[in-house]
């Protein structure tokens, strides 16, 4: 019996190369864990029917030592908003319940070339709109640490799948914290790369200037390996960065210097999270890091700016789902009636809320007052971070203001949006950030993981990996 929960990608690769077990056996053990646990957790929406065939192909490559990489034969989970040719993809919505992808996302193409084995598609908040995976049309994903609590969102299925041993690692997408927050809630590592570092081609868009595909794994090494496999320029994505645009500007800062925006962190944070954060600071100091107070005067506006820009972009992106070309179709009295009936039946409450908000923001008379002003403030926030990174090499915050909350606890949308307070500034500025496990807090009988967020300048994922490795004592 292979203990998936104790394996990371490096370890699994060594065992596969040494012949201790096969890729087929590794995949079979993932499937066994899924069969035992997924019915209660609901991390996976579908297990692909060709897993063992793909694993056998990986075994042949390993045996013949041909076209192999560290990811050959490694079982990965896939968030259900990333296109995998010939497979269903729903984005957690009824409006796409029978849609089959007609092409591979660039990240899928790259991972296929590496020989990775895709286990299945994981649950998410509908069209990635949410922080709890409660908004999925296909049921809530529960937290493997406490079934009464959420796994986080919107990549809750991916994080939960890795946490319970349903895959060695997973892909998610992060628009306002959707990789980092569920990683924190589920006790795993989640990376949001620099905007443009990873192609978005084949990702079902929510907020086009905010979305970024990112890996979830058990270790820093896991996410670094996957990031290295999927990053790079893509001619199919005009926002992906060329090498000459990825050079770091500004003066070099000592890598062991870390900034803390204390005035921002002190507000509305759970007592246990605050204590854990202070413990993390002490640990970093003991590892030789210099901790410096910094000021980000406009970061307090991030949440308001995000919830103007994101729904505006989402309402535009979701206009294509009309029942005419693909997906759900409902008959109305006429063509416009078809359109209304289809969208009414196909979209959930949260998606409708954000479409209406975004449409209002972009409407005549309000565009300048809301959308243009939000973009202006976004640039001011970017500049605040630029100045901070002239003094320190990284910035740390808690990943979330509280540990995983109970299912149905946050019925008020505003209270749910506030859960993103530490993660959304990273998406607004396009910087990379990572959430790493930083400890456990108690809630009654439940022992819940919490995370530390590390933020670095553009294209400096290496800083995130180095600090994360030190903190987690990874070799």
Which residues are catalytic, by number?
79, 154, 178
Alpha-carbon gap, residue 380 to 302, rounded angstroms:
10
End-to-end CA distance of the chain: 26
Q: How far apart are CA 385 and CA 37, in angstroms?
A: 42
Q: Which two tokens stand for residue 398?
A: 């808690």
CA distance 75 to 196: 26
* Crossing angle (nearest 10°) for helices 23-41 and 51-64: 150
CB 30 within 8 A of CB 44: no
Q: Cβ contacts of residue 325 below 8 Å, gap of 6+? A: none
Name all contacts of 286-289 with Cβ < 8 Å and 24+ positions apart: 287/470, 287/471, 288/256, 289/256, 289/257, 289/258, 289/467, 289/470
Number of H helices, E strands in the chain: 16, 13
Distance CA 334, CA 346 (A): 18
Q: How far is CA 303 from CA 281, 307, 310, 365, in A?
A: 25, 6, 10, 23
């Amino acid at each position: 019996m292979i203990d998936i929960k104790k394996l990371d990608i490096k370890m699994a690769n060594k065992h596969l190369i040494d012949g201790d077990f096969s890729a087929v056996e590794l995949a079979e053990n993932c499937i066994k864990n899924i069969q035992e646990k997924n019915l209660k957790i609901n991390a996976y929406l579908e297990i692909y029917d060709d897993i063992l065939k793909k694993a056998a192909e990986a075994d042949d490559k390993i045996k013949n030592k041909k076209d192999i990489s560290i990811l050959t034969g490694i079982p990965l989970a896939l968030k259900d908003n990333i296109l995998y040719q010939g497979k269903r993809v729903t984005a957690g919505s009824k409006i796409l319940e029978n849609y089959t992808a007609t092409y591979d996302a660039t990240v899928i193409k790259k991972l296929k070339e590496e020989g990775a084995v895709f286990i299945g598609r994981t649950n998410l908040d509908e069209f990635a709109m949410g922080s709890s995976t409660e908004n999925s049309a296909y049921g809530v994903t529960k937290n493997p640490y406490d079934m009464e609590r959420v796994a986080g969102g919107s990549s809750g299925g991916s994080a939960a799948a890795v946490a319970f041993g349903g895959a060695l690692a997973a892909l998610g997408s992060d628009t306002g914290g959707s990789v980092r927050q569920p990683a924190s809630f589920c006790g795993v590592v989640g990376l949001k790369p620099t905007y443009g570092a990873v192609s978005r081609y084949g990702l079902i868009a929510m907020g086009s200037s905010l979305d970024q595909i990112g890996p979830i794994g058990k270790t820093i090494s896991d996410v670094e390996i996957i990031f290295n496999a999927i990053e790079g320029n893509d001619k199919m994505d005009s926002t992906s960065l060329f090498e000459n645009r990825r050079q770091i500007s500004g003066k070099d800062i000592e890598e062991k210097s870390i900034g803390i925006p204390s005035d921002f962190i002190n507000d509305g944070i759970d007592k246990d999270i605050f204590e854990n954060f202070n413990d993390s600071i002490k640990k970093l100091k003991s590892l030789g890091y210099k901790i410096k107070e910094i000021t980000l005067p406009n970061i307090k506006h991030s949440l308001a700016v995000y919830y103007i820009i994101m729904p505006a972009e989402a309402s535009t992106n979701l206009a294509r789902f009309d029942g005419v070309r693909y997906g759900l179709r409902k008959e109305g009295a006429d063509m416009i009636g078809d359109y209304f009936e289809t969208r009414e039946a196909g979209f959930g409450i949260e998606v409708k809320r954000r479409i209406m908000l975004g449409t209002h923001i972009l409407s005549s008379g309000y565009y300048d007052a809301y959308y243009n002003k939000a973009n202006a403030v976004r640039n001011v926030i970017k500049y605040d971070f630029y100045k901070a990174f002239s003094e320190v090499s990284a910035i740390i915050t808690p990943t979330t203001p509280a540990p995983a909350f109970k299912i149905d606890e946050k019925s008020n949308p505003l209270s749910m949006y506030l859960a993103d307070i530490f993660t959304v500034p990273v998406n607004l500025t396009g910087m990379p950030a990572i959430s790493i496990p930083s400890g456990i807090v108690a809630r009654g009988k439940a022992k819940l993981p919490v995370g530390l967020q590390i933020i670095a300048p553009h294209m400096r994922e290496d800083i995130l990996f180095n600090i994360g490795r030190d903190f987690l004592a990874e070799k």
